[in-house]
Amino acid sequence: MAEAVSVKKLTHFINGQLVEGKSGNYANVYNPSTGEVIAEVPLATAEETSEAIAAAEAAFPAWRDIAVAKRVEVIIRFRQLITENIDQLLNIICTESGKTLEDARGEIIRGLESVDLAIGAPHLMKGEYSVNVGGQINSYSAKYPLGVVAAISPFNFPIMVPLAQTSMAVAVGNAVILKASEKVPMTALFVSELWKKAGLPDGIWTVVNGSKEAVNELLENPSVQAISFVGSTPIAKYIYETGSKYGKRVTALGGGKNNMVVMPDADIEQVANAFIGAAYGAASQRCMAISTIMPVGEETANKLVAILKEKISKLKVGSYTEEGTDFGPVISKESKEGILKAIDRAEQQGATVVNDGRTLNMAENSNGYFVGPTLLDNITTEMDIFELEVFGPARNVVRVASLAEAIAVINSQELANGVTIFTNDGAAARKFTTEIDVGMVGVNVPIPIPVGYHNFAGFKGSRFGEGHMFGPDQARFYTKTKTISERWIEVTEKTESTFAFPSNN
């Protein structure tokens, strides 16, 4: 008989301490590779969340008043602790998310880019200064932290997205509350321990676990000044509309339906390799994963699909503990069922199933949430799966006759996160990058996700609000700018009242 898995009772992290939940309500945390419950996470009430906000608000003034260079010293120690504890982090991420070791390691490295950018907070917080703008008046601007800010993060990147949402917020002087996904809470709690060890004052970093009740308190509580969200488009829209209603600064990033256009002059073998990694990595559970490959011309399409069919059939699906695994399970039983239904529906509507992940032995016989790599050809714009963001390894082929048609088809979609083109024709690439209405664009790059020191965000239904994730816009999002005009009057100087509008006369 198999030995029972020990189920861990998790906590919140409030005011520098691990705090047990008071509500009595818990959600199960699963190992997606086995389907087993590995932990129970408390779901905070509005009252518990309010208490955490109050603790953060009380801690904020002292952290705000510390020199930014001293705050950065804590960020540097935090970065060092992540690298020192990377093996433990890898194990936690892979266990609760199902990622492979290689993928999880890549996520940590990309997350560290956001920490590295936060180390540059002294530069990013610099203001502007003008001497004698008129009448011996000097004007300058200065950036100040907002206060208590909140981040709501998704399951698919347990560490990279939270680090991108919060590192700069901490560095510029805010008190941060993270509401991690209840599907992957253990990574966030481990990161909390690292912040504590790095010397971050109690109350400046908080993790509140919960569901909609906790989220609504973050959205409505007047002490929370800003909200950063990453997740699905319907929830992103709700977060943006609700947070804005309560006067908060909100950036809410939603889903993506990312396309890869393949021109006839591209190296098809190279394209196939690029597509497979970009499409199926992390079981396709990335908002920047390539959902659709769009070959231009029938000859290009036929050749590409034949190569893809062979390569995809050789992919290995399994647990991160198995050697040679290309990708693991999807996050939950519900997710797996939704993906299988999407494949069924596409087939019913006339799609050609080139590679069928429904028949994978593990998909049928394992308790884990495995779905094999699926490729669907002859997808048309009328089919449900054309617009639907399938967060799993079911990818599409949409055949087009020209680059102009590809651009028109892509621009017709509601989601506009990322897009890429493979070509050796500079004129085609220029036309594509100019005319495409998508936030992040690649040329011969399989996943056009910017590095941590460039801004990240899509257009249309992929982003609500004007902020970005990653990049220097984080410093702008988490600070407010005061503009000061000052004049020092000499004792002997005579002044008179004037009623004219101030001007440089």
Tokens 């801690």, residue? Answer: 59
Q: Which of 482, 492, 505, 485 is nearest to 131 (CA)?
A: 485
Contacts of residue 238, defined as CB under 8 A and 6 or more positions apart, other chains included, come to none
Q: What are phi and psi of 93, to 5 degrees?
A: -60, -45
Strand order in the sheet with 258-262: 352-355, 374-377, 394-397, 290-295, 258-262, 418-422, 440-443
User: Catalytic: 287?
Assistant: yes
Radius of gyration of the CA atoms of the chain, in A = 25
**What percentage of the chain's residues is helix, strand, coil (to nearest 5)?**
40, 20, 35
Region label for 311, one of left (φ > 0), alpha (ψ between -120 and 50) or beta (otherwise): alpha
Residue 99 contacts residue 317 (beta carbons within 8 Å): no
Amino acid at 39: A
Amino acid at 93: I
d(CA 471, CA 356): 39
Tokens 């993790």, residue? Answer: 207
Tokens 């990335």, residue? Answer: 286
Amino acid at 201: P
d(CA 410, CA 72): 42
Helices 185-198 + 160-171 axis angle, to 10: 30
Exposed/middle/buried for 91, CB within 10 Å: 0-12, 13-18, 19+? Answer: middle
d(CA 49, CA 45): 6
Helices 160-171 + 101-119 axis angle, to 10: 10
Q: Which of 325, 317, 321, 315 is nearest to 369 (CA)?
A: 317
How many whole angstroms from its chain centre is CA 110? 11
> Which one is catalytic: 14, 188, 287, 354?
287
d(CA 294, CA 399): 6
Write down the H helix ranges in 322-449. Answer: 333-348, 361-365, 384-387, 403-411, 426-435
Catalytic center residues: 287
